[in-house]
Amino acid sequence: MLIDGPLKIGVLDQPEMPGRELHFTFTPEFQALDQLAQVAQFQVYLQTLQQQIHSLKEDDQNRAGMLIVQQIAEQLMPHLQGGDLELDETIVVEMGRDESSLSLMNLLG
């Protein structure tokens, strides 16, 4: 399932590494907005994620991956509201090699 929004999300999965890395990058279009417009667009993104998650069955693999994206995006929101994020830098989140990270890879793959 494609998650359209202000973030580009990639996964770095190297077998020799103990876990996977999620790479979150804000799109150039999002970066070009003023802070109020960024916050408004990000709120819409979070609402859309919530709606898409609720539309999926509990055991859907995409649902678990989307929940991870939602949790990370929710953690970014206060920093976006405060103007604390460098929007031109990639945010890296390390994950283990469990079912959750596999479901996210399937979602993004």
pLDDT of residue 91: 95
pLDDT of residue 47: 97
Q: Which DSSP symbol is given to 17?
A: S
pLDDT of residue 99: 61
pLDDT (tens digit per residue) in 8-27: 998 888 777 777 888 999 99
What is the rounded CA–CA span in Å between residue 81 and residue 101? 28
Whole-structure pTM value:
0.84
Domain spans in the chain, listed from the N-terminal domain onward = 7-108
Q: Nearest to residue 104, comparing CAs of 12, 11, 13, 14?
A: 11
pLDDT (tens digit per residue) in 53-106: 999 999 888 888 889 899 999 999 999 999 999 999 999 998 876 665 566 566
